[in-house]
Structure 1
Amino acid sequence: MSDRDPSVSDEEWAAFVEAARKDGVGSGSVPEPRRRGFRRRPVRHEPEGWRTGPAWREMNGRGRARRQVKGVVGITLAAGLLLLALRPDLITDRLPEGFGGPGETAPLAAETARPTAPPSSEVFPDHPTLKEPFKGSPALGWANGAAGIEVPRAKAVGGMSSEEVAHALDSVKRFLVAANLDKATLRGERPTGAIKLLDPLQKDVRAYIHRSLDEPDENNDPLGLFSRFDPAEVRLAGDVVKARGRMTFEAGERSGEVQVHVDYTFVYPLVKTRPGFDEVARTVVRRQMAFALYDPAKIMTTRGLLYVLRMDESAGNSDCARDGDGFLHPQFSEDLINAAPLPGGPEIDPYDRSKDLADLPKACGTVTRT
């Protein structure tokens, strides 16, 4: 049965699901969803030159700019079965790819534009396991690691040749891989590979990075750029991190500038390092960033290295109460026993890529799934 050509109408399907919920189908095995913190921190530190880029060759100094480091988000996890079969064919045939439906082995097509809605919720919420760490997650059908960061075909723009644009795109991908997928970065080591791709002439950014890594706090947090977990607490469950998003480019505001914009979500399955611990929790990190590559013949810059123009970040399943130490802190079932009362505020779906991160709330709230 095709999801686009169902034998049951959308109205009939919605009525079926609602009736099943009211009748308590599977109610004996469906625990209450666990709701955890959601946070976007306001920015207090504003280094100069963050968004304006370097000066023209014939000019001195830089203009003042605004930095955007948006949010560290907390979490929730909806666990257990939502619906057991009254008519299994109605359910399994309508599941999206990657969830046990007809196309479960086929990966999702590349994202070419911003989605208009979050991934379907017409799936069985289920527990991840060490063997299947993405079980029950929309990320099940996503690409693995760097394969999820697809580079568009380069062309000349903004006074930059197609070769220069291709270099910019490749550099941005290498930065994203080094900052979000490199195993050493994930276990809290210094992300030197990513830092080397950034122009040292953007001194404010370079100083911010080193300060946030050496002495992190709520105003100087490396999580704005890098995904990092405390190796004394957690490790990856398996070798795979899922990634999905898109990369675009355009001419900059002046000749000799190409800008690269990225919007990617990374899903990390994690387990505590304690011997014998086997519960898997997922942390979902989304990043919206912009970079610039400049022609050093026209603009004061280091040839081939990137400027950071924007960095917005959110993270689902990271303990709000521990913000500022430079690590993401996924929570597990045992962590919720003595947890503080849940924060108020709206619920957020961390898999919803249809909204801009700038539109998300700033305060700690809740999310609906991981």
Structure 2
Amino acid sequence: MNALEGTVRPADPDDIDARFEALVAQFDEDEIRRMTAAAESDSFTPGRRRRPAVLVAIAGLIVLVGLVVTMRPDVLDKLRIARSPAGNEDLIVSGPVIARQAPVTTPIPDGEEGLFDHGPVPAPPAGLFAGTPAAGYADGEQGLVMPAARALGGLTREEVGRALSRVRRLLSAAHLDPATVRGERPEEFIRLLHPRQREAFLRRLGDSGPSGTRSWLFSLAPGTAEPAGDVVKVSGETTISKRAGGGVTIEADYLFVHPVSRPGAPSTVTRIVEHHRNEFSAYREDGGLVVWLAADKSAVFGANCTEGDGFVHPRFPDDPQGSRPSGEPADPYDRASGLSGETRCPAALGS
């Protein structure tokens, strides 16, 4: 078996169109009627010679029309529309669709099967955010914009640049890393922490309540939801100022908008808006640069608040009323007021 056998694709329909049009162009309507009448006369009159040329032409025309009906019904639609009276095109377009039989196929080289994906087509990422301010936000890390580095607080421009880069990577690892978002062990975030803070973080990662460190991250509670699509929308800003005692304070204030769906039910989608306001300290210690997460305040909109395990438990439209957040509703897309309440899972305006 050669390389061309075993894989097929639809035959090029243009050859059929060309042959059909070339044959039809040889006859006008009157001539076709005359040939048809002559063929009928020849077929039913004993003793007369047949007109093989006429019959062959008509037979060829019939066979080719049959091919067109089978493989290219749109050609007939074009002919019907061209012959329909002016103003009646809508009647043609709204008619029934002709069911096509399986296409005639011709071989294609091996290795091109991947070009034809017959699986379900996922919803465009923009559609997951349509009708919300998040539609205009940046995608993922593109939204984590850092200010220009400059010498400040006794640190050099290079040191400040390194500190800003570490903050950006920590934010990405905490809120965008796929493993972290799915509720798995946040390896990348752990690796980026200062060794002393890493130890404290790991010690309290499994704790419930305010002492737990899982709430520093966006982690879906295992078995409750999964990301819908591969885009998280991000909006916010990072500012830098001189720190008392030397070094700099870096404040990151960001919204992360996560579309999620029920496991095994991709059509059930909701959006979780998390608002994190982090404060990082960057300073020189024993000749090295330290970047330390000094404070974290957060709010998560669209989640249930009863578990207290640090994981995010998305709230879907048909969830029981008793699991919904309480308190004064806030606009989840307003960074000025989104963290004004005491609860981590406040009610959202319009929800």
TM-score after normalising by structure 1: 0.57
Matched, 1:216 2:197: no
- Deviation, structure 1 residue 191: 1.5
* The one of 313, 316, 321 aligned to 1:329: 313
What residue is the counterpart of 1:118 in the other structure?
Answer: none
- Deviation, structure 1 residue 176: 0.3
- Deviation, structure 1 residue 130: 4.0
CA distance in 1, matches of 2:239, 2:233: 20
Matched, 1:262 2:242: no
CA 1:322/1:201 → structure 2, altered by over 3 Å: closer, same or farther?
Answer: closer
Higher relative contact order (Cα pairs below 8 Å, separated by 6+ residues): 1
Figure out how many residues of one structure are paired with residues of the other and give that number.
Answer: 228
Matched, 1:199 2:194: yes
CA 1:179/1:342 → structure 2, altered by over 3 Å: closer, same or farther?
Answer: closer
CA 1:281/1:130 → structure 2, altered by over 3 Å: closer, same or farther?
Answer: farther
Spell out, residue by residue over 1:122-164, the C-alpha distance to the aligned partner (whole angstroms, 9 max, x if none). Answer: xxxxxxx944111221100000000000011100001100000
Structure 1 residues without counterparts, runs of 5 or longer? 1-128
CA 1:364/1:241 → structure 2, altered by over 3 Å: closer, same or farther?
Answer: closer
Verify the 8 A CA contact 1:261 1:290 in the aligned structure 2: yes
Q: Which has the larger radius of gyration?
A: 2
CA distance in 2, matches of 1:146, 1:217: 29
Matched, 1:347 2:329: yes
What residue is the counterpart of 1:317 in the other structure?
Answer: 302
**For 1:295, what is the secondary structure of its paired residue?**
strand
CA distance in 2, matches of 1:341, 1:288: 26
CA distance in 2, matches of 1:147, 1:364: 26
RMSD of equivalent CA atoms: 2.2
What residue is the counterpart of 1:226 in the other structure?
Answer: 217
**For 2:297, what is the secondary structure of its paired residue?**
strand
- Deviation, structure 1 residue 346: 1.4
- Which one has the bigger strand percentage? 2
Spell out, residue by residue over 1:259-278, the C-alpha distance to the aligned partner (whole angstroms, 9 max, x if none). Answer: 2111001000000112x441
Verify the 8 A CA contact 2:332 2:338 in the aligned structure 1: no
**For 2:163, what is the secondary structure of its paired residue?**
helix
Verify the 8 A CA contact 2:243 2:249 in the aligned structure 1: yes
What residue is the counterpart of 1:287 in the other structure?
Answer: 276
CA distance in 2, matches of 1:169, 1:364: 29
Identity %: 33
Spell out, residue by residue over 1:221-260, the C-alpha distance to the aligned partner (whole angstroms, 9 max, x if none). Answer: 33431100134221111000000000111111123x1221
TM-score after normalising by structure 2: 0.60
CA 1:191/1:342 → structure 2, altered by over 3 Å: closer, same or farther?
Answer: closer
